[in-house]
Structure 1
Amino acid sequence: MKAGHMVHVIEIQRSTATVNDAGTPERTWSRLATLRAEVVERSTEEFLRNAGETSETTIVFRTRFLAGLTDDDRVDFDGFAFDIDEIVTVGRRRGLELRCRRVAP
């Protein structure tokens, strides 16, 4: 993993549940970390689902190791939020590969 390949900036976000004034729960996202990352793989596919057309973007990021990251967190990249599907540790806590997905209507 070379620093010269990590030219993109991603933001790791974690959700918290709060209750608004009306008493209903809301899910808010807050920044956990800002990291440099390398885009390893990117693909976009279009599907017909539930009588509607959707596009699914899959992207794999390689970044430095961050302890405590779970697949409940998400990645903000280029103004879009990507759900983390899989986290793979590279080496002995040297880095992470994050397989992320974004589904758009």
Structure 2
Amino acid sequence: MMRAGKLDKIITLQRFTSTVDEDGTPIETWTDLATVRAQLVQSTTEEFMRGWGASSEAAIVFRIRHMDDITPADRARYQGRAYDLKEIKELGRREGLDLRCVATGSA
């Protein structure tokens, strides 16, 4: 059972959308999907080798109550930073979700 007291962080889930303005120009932007309470389960910085040299990546795991419409194409915002969803793991039978995220280069 997920305890409400542990959900002490607030994250905003966002979805990439494309719309057309009044001039007919396509506008692509991140739109807020939901603002939810979350538990910060794990936060790490991993270093590894890439083709252009050593690199570090900030990884974070959020635990939230179950939601049906979240996909790995969405992202989470926490403390002004954007995180791409890399994996969504269901906890129990629709009790909660672990969102495994990696920090993006954009804000």
TM-score (norm 2): 0.83
Residue by residue, what CA displacement relative to the aligned partner does 1:51-72 show, whole Å, maximum 9, x if unpaired? 4664310000001011111000
Aligned length: 104
CA distance in 2, matches of 1:5, 1:53: 35
Residue by residue, what CA displacement relative to the aligned partner does 1:63-89 show, whole Å, maximum 9, x if unpaired? 101111100000000100000000011
Partner SS state of residue 18, structure 1: strand
CA distance in 2, matches of 1:45, 1:104: 15
Across the aligned residues of Structure 1 and Structure 2, the Cα RMSD in angstroms comes to: 2.3
- Gap regions ≥5 residues in structure 1: none
CA distance in 2, matches of 1:72, 1:6: 23
The 4+ residue runs of structure 1 with deviation greater than 6 A are: none
**Match of 1:61?**
62
- Gap regions ≥5 residues in structure 2: none
**Match of 1:42?**
43
CA distance in 2, matches of 1:93, 1:102: 26
**Match of 1:11?**
12
**Do the aligned residues in 2 keep the contact of 1:38 with 1:61 (CA within 8 Å)?**
yes
